[in-house]
Amino acid sequence: MLLINNWYVAGVAAELGDDPERVTMLGCDFVLFRDADARIHCLSDLCVHRGASLSVGECKNGGIMCPQHGWEFSGDGRCRLIPAGTKTPTEPPKRARVPAYPVAEKYGLIFVFLGDLGEDARPAVPDIMPEWDSGDWHKGVITRRKDINYLRMAENYNDPCHVHYIHEFAKWLPKGVTIIDHELTDRYVRAWHAAWDAQGNFGESSGLMMEYDVISCVSRNTNYQPEYPSQIVTAYVTPIDARNTQIHMVILMPKGETTSLDGSTVRGATAEEHEMMVNMTRDTVMDEDYAVLQTTRPRQAASTTEELLVDTDRTLVQVRQMTLDYGQKHGGIDTAALSELEDTHIRVIPCPGHKSDPKNWVHKTVPLLHGTGRGKLQAAS
Ligand code: FES
Ligand SMILES: [Fe+2]
């Protein structure tokens, strides 16, 4: 299910310069741009005049100008200038606006809230990487696009058992994995897997912590080994649509000594070791996952009654369930209905402006799955 009313990573902040950028998420197009103060804004990418893509226009006067007839939109989505008209200047009508979405910057990433919840009702972007700001960790970011459903990707990041089979670096290690601790809320799961250490020993002082937060669809894997610097691999999966996913992965390794789970001191990593880890993950590990994931059917997360699941699959079952529950509460897109409309209509993700002022919009909002979230606006659209 593609969820609305959730935060998604739309890009890397340092990569957004003076030119607007198009991003596709949840099957819809958005434009990211910076205003005169370099603040980032996210609007629906399609101009309400005649449907041109704002992202091929240009940033102008702190807003964005449509490439086709020069209408200018502010960061709040309102059109403030229609240069050609019967009167001069033409006063833009109230409906001359495109949806505008809340933006947050965190961990060097651009997060966009795709939904209509007002500020008070909106969840916060999860604090899943408190190490980020300390200055004590080497940091690296990898961005990859894959033609895999986003939830399939998230399942992979929360599956401790595939590691020993899919990944060359771990094939020689013992194959057993045991969940020894487990924490679950309605939007978050954390599982501690005792698995292996570099010496091939089992033990509760080494292993893999896997966490998932349905807010922003983020997985965090923390890998502890007795004599090797720990690695934190955080992966955000943003659905481009139901079949394609944009991955933003952040890899941290400690610069100095850290304490392991059993209280022992572990040395820090060199910059070279961290760089090697980032390169290996980007060039080898992610493709090893992909080679198998692209063969998995069905393409979207399966029904649990059509698979034979075992205890070590517990976390991914919870990932699926949390997603369904969140969609039930806050809205899930009817992707089949949306793709039927694609060639003849524009549909947009609802934004907070739809809730505060439901009238005076040109583009209708995306169809939602029956019974998910939001009766009122759904009926109105
Ligand atoms: S299509 Fe954008 S100004 Fe005409
Ligand atoms: Fe993997």
Are the C-beta atoms of residues 231 and 225 closer than 8 Å to each other?
no
Are the C-beta atoms of residues 73 and 63 closer than 8 Å to each other?
yes
How many alpha carbons fall within 13 Å on the CB side of residue 120?
2
Residue 268 CB neighbours (<10 A):
17
Name the residue at shortest CA distance from atom 1 of ligand 1.
50
Mean pLDDT of 204-230: 88
pLDDT tens for each residue of 36-92:
999 999 999 999 999 999 999 999 999 999 999 999 999 999 999 999 876 666 689
Distance (angstroms) between ligand 1 centre and the Cα of 51 equals 7
pLDDT at 238: 98
Domains 15-103 and 145-268+295-322 alike in fold: no
Q: Which atom of ligand 1 sits closest to the CA of residue 82?
A: 3
pLDDT tens for each residue of 155-185:
999 998 898 899 998 887 777 777 778 889 9
pLDDT top residue among 279 and 171: 279
* Residue to mutate, 49, 90, 95, ligand 1, most ligand atoms under 8 Å from C-beta: 49
Closest by Cα among 270, 169, 265 to 226: 265
Are the C-beta atoms of residues 245 and 237 closer than 8 Å to each other?
yes
Q: What are the residue ranges spanned by the domains of the chain?
A: 15-103, 145-268+295-322
Is the minimum distance from the CB of 49 to ligand 1 under 6 angstroms?
A: yes
Which ligand places an atom closest to the C-alpha of 85?
1
What is the residue-averaged pLDDT of the chain? 91
Burial class (CB in 10 A: 0-12, 13-18, 19+), 25: buried
Closest by Cα among 264, 153, 271 to 218: 153
- Give strand pairing partners of 98: none
Is the minimum distance from the CB of 68 to ligand 1 under 6 angstroms?
A: yes
Give, for 77, the enclosing helix (H) or strand (E): none
Which ligand places an atom closest to the C-alpha of 157?
2
Q: Which atom of ligand 1 sits closest to the CA of residue 71?
A: 3
CA distance 333 to 348: 11
Residues contacting 243, CB < 8 A, separation 6+: 147, 148, 149, 299
Which ligand places an atom closest to the C-alpha of 92?
1
Fold of 145-268+295-322: Alpha-D-Glucose-1,6-Bisphosphate; Chain A, domain 4 (3.30.530)
Distance (angstroms) between ligand 2 centre and the Cα of 6 equals 25
Q: Which atom of ligand 1 sits closest to the CA of residue 57?
A: 2
Are the C-beta atoms of residues 54 and 98 closer than 8 Å to each other?
yes
Looking at domain 15-103, its CATH architecture is 3-layer Sandwich (2.102)
Residue type, 139: K
pLDDT top residue among 210 and 200: 210
Provide the greatest CA pair distance for the chain. 79
Q: Which atom of ligand 1 sits closest to the CA of residue 51?
A: 1
Is the minimum distance from the CB of 66 to ligand 1 under 6 angstroms?
A: yes
pLDDT top residue among 266 and 213: 213
Q: Which atom of ligand 1 sits closest to the CA of residue 70?
A: 3
Is the minimum distance from the CB of 346 to ligand 1 under 6 angstroms?
A: no
- pTM (two decimals): 0.94
Is the minimum distance from the CB of 52 to ligand 1 under 6 angstroms?
A: yes
- Give strand pairing partners of 232: 222, 252
Name the residue at shortest CA distance from atom 4 of ligand 1.
69
Distance (angstroms) between ligand 2 centre and the Cα of 256 equals 27
Task: Identify the sign of the CA torsion 127, 261, 266, 223.
Answer: negative
Assign 262 a pLDDT band (cuts: 50, 70, 90). Answer: confident
pLDDT at 378: 41
Which ligand places an atom closest to the C-alpha of 158?
2
Is the minimum distance from the CB of 71 to ligand 1 under 6 angstroms?
A: yes
Q: Using alpha carbons, list the distances in angstroms from residue 178 to 53, 208, 209.
A: 50, 10, 11
Assign 350 a pLDDT band (cuts: 50, 70, 90). Answer: very high
Residue whose tokens read 């949306």: 338
Name the residue at shortest CA distance from atom 3 of ligand 1.
69
Closest by Cα among 174, 135, 337, 162 to 254: 135
Q: Which of 14-23, 91-100, 172-181, 359-368 is predicted least confidently?
A: 172-181
Residue type, 42: C
The one-character DSSP state at 226 is T
Mean pLDDT of 331-357: 96
Residues contacting 170, CB < 8 A, separation 6+: 163, 164, 196
pLDDT at 87: 64
